[in-house]
Amino acid sequence: MSGKRWSGRFSKATHKSVEQFTSSVDVDRELWREDIDASIAHARMLGDQGIIPKEAAARIIEGLGEVGAEIEAGRFQWRDDLEDVHGNIEGRLAQLIGAETAGRLHTGRSRNDQVATDLRLWLKRRLPGVRESIARLQRSLMVRAEEQVDTVLPGYTHLQRAQPVTLAHHLLAYFEMLQRDQVRFASCLESVDELPLGSGALAGAPYPLDRRAVADELGFARVSANSLDAVSDRDFVIDVQAASATCMMHLSRLAEEIVLWTTSEFGFALLDDAYATGSSLMPQKKNPDVAELVRGRSGRVYGNLTAILTTMKGLPLSYNRDLQEDKAGLFDSLHTLTSCLEAMTGMIETITFDAARTEAAASDPTLLATDFADYLVQRGAPFEEAHGIVGRLVRLAEDSERSLTELSLDELRGVSSLFDEDVLCISAESSVESRSLPGGTGADSVRTQLERARQLLGEA
Ligand code: ARG
């Protein structure tokens, strides 16, 4: 029975196709460093507690260091027949230090608590990098917003021109979305921060394991409270998948704006040549493929979230092999998210805005209809009534193929005597400036938002 581990109760080797079918080493070898670190912590604790001889613990720790060095140097032979990263590392350890000593490492431990520990440790180490990538995109949005405090463009609802806003305000809306992503990933870091090791296969372990010492060596805040839950809980994977999906949704929305803004129809922005691609057929084309791919890849990450939720939903306690399916999607989501964040950061850093085009679009007088109504309210009209008056004015202007601002003061007064000469000063700029309350699009509010952004990025 070549290669078969835990073979005592079997009379046959596993069929080659079953070996390949059940093997996860192609995916979970990603966890090798965490697997070695967690094994070292476990071995040290076993030795310190007198559960295995101290010399055995020392040889195991030394051997694991050697295995790690081999993997790092690319000299390690990964084997399908050893099933997973754990089997591969222990198999090699046995070759290096002898099966008898190596065999003591698995005392009081199962692959069920081991894999949950490795994955949590891997996330503890990777999630800060994701948060840094989010922060880099936030920073690029903040820097570009600082240049655009006075640039006006139409704000939209229903993708219909609605009211003038500043470009800085628009860009900072994405900063805020990403700030919520930061909070979500910080909370993911809390949910992964728990040590399952010591839960055994499902019921705990009959040895005086010092779980707190292992948690301390690996940097975990808590040890799990219930062994059945600990070996079968993947909520932390779902949390990360959900946070990734939400962040991808934000990136996809920003990508969609870039796609729209760079059309000839909008013309609000121009992509840097380094972030645009050509067409194999149409020589004039400059395509926003990077933005489109970010938008498209949100689908993959949503798929990964749906996959893990579906994998989990019918599982009885405790460990089931279905759980092995948790990793491929998780690694894929984090890789996809990080590469999308990086591409988006480069695109935002290099995109140029066409203020002449945004301002021309923002000078569409229909955008000022609300300001006309607000003007009447400031002169005592109830808002409903003001809304009706301006509605009539819009129709009057349309009927004579003019815009709202082309109506004469006499015509305005014909509909409401509340209009005075100063109504003629209403403009996109005055509209924006009048909205400087906290959260508004006016320059004072935008400067406050920029200060908040600097503070959140730790640059204030
Ligand atoms: N490769 C497995 C996983 O990722 C490790 C745990 C296997 N445990 C077991 N009882 N077969 O979940």
**Apex CA 406: angle with CA 436 and CA 353, to 5°?**
50
237 C-alpha vs ligand 1 centroid, how far in Å? 16
CA-closest candidate to residue 77, choices 97, 101, 95, 103: 95
236 C-alpha vs ligand 1 centroid, how far in Å? 17
319 C-alpha vs ligand 1 centroid, how far in Å? 8
- CA nearest ligand 1 atom 11, residue: 321
Kindly give the number of the ligand 1 atom that is closest to the alpha carbon of 319.
Answer: 10
Residue holding tokens 């569409």? 364
- CA nearest ligand 1 atom 3, residue: 324
**Best probe residue, ligand 1, of 26, 35, 89, 112 (max atoms within 8 Å of C-beta):** 112
115 C-alpha vs ligand 1 centroid, how far in Å? 7
* Per-residue pLDDT at 285: 81
Give residue 158's region: left, alpha or beta (phi > 0; psi -120 to 50). Answer: left
CB atoms within 10 A of CB 335: 11
118 C-alpha vs ligand 1 centroid, how far in Å? 12
CB atoms within 10 A of CB 197: 30
Residue holding tokens 């996109």? 428
Q: How many whole angstroms from its chain centre is CA 123?
A: 13
Pocket of ligand 1 (CB under 6 A): 24, 28, 84, 111-112, 115, 319, 321, 323-324
Look up residue 26 and give its two tokens: 């192609």
55 C-alpha vs ligand 1 centroid, how far in Å? 29
Kindly give the number of the ligand 1 atom that is closest to the alpha carbon of 84.
Answer: 1
Kindly give the number of the ligand 1 atom that is closest to the alpha carbon of 83.
Answer: 1
Kindly give the number of the ligand 1 atom that is closest to the alpha carbon of 326.
Answer: 4
- What does the alpha-carbon distance between residue 112 and residue 197 come to, in Å, rounded to a whole number? 9
CA-closest candidate to residue 189, choices 124, 136, 250: 124
Out of 158, 264, 280, 417, the active site residue is 158
CA 133, 138, 139, 144 dihedral sign is: positive
Residues paired with 161 in a beta bridge: 156
For this structure, is 158 an active site residue? Answer: yes
Q: What's this model's pTM, rounded to 2 decimal places?
A: 0.95
> Can you give the pLDDT of all 460 residues of the chain as single tens digits?
445 677 788 888 889 999 999 999 999 999 999 999 999 999 999 999 999 999 999 999 999 999 999 999 999 999 999 999 999 999 999 999 999 999 999 999 999 999 999 999 999 999 999 999 999 999 999 999 999 999 999 999 999 999 999 999 999 999 999 999 999 999 999 999 999 999 999 999 999 999 999 999 999 999 999 999 999 999 999 999 999 999 999 999 999 999 999 999 999 999 999 998 888 888 888 899 999 999 999 999 999 999 999 999 999 999 999 999 999 999 999 999 999 999 999 999 999 999 999 999 998 888 999 999 999 999 999 999 999 999 999 999 999 999 899 999 999 999 999 999 999 999 999 999 999 999 999 999 999 999 999 999 999 7
330 C-alpha vs ligand 1 centroid, how far in Å? 16
Out of 7, 187, 279, 400, the active site residue is 279
Kindly give the number of the ligand 1 atom that is closest to the alpha carbon of 85.
Answer: 1
- CA nearest ligand 1 atom 4, residue: 324
**Best probe residue, ligand 1, of 232, 321, 323, 326 (max atoms within 8 Å of C-beta):** 321
Kindly give the number of the ligand 1 atom that is closest to the alpha carbon of 115.
Answer: 5
**Best probe residue, ligand 1, of 21, 109, 115, 119 (max atoms within 8 Å of C-beta):** 115
Q: How many whole angstroms from its chain centre is CA 411?
A: 54
- What does the alpha-carbon distance between residue 251 and residue 297 come to, in Å, rounded to a whole number? 10
201 C-alpha vs ligand 1 centroid, how far in Å? 10
Residues paired with 157 in a beta bridge: 160
328 C-alpha vs ligand 1 centroid, how far in Å? 14
**Best probe residue, ligand 1, of 19, 24, 324, 325 (max atoms within 8 Å of C-beta):** 324
* Per-residue pLDDT at 1: 47
Kindly give the number of the ligand 1 atom that is closest to the alpha carbon of 327.
Answer: 4
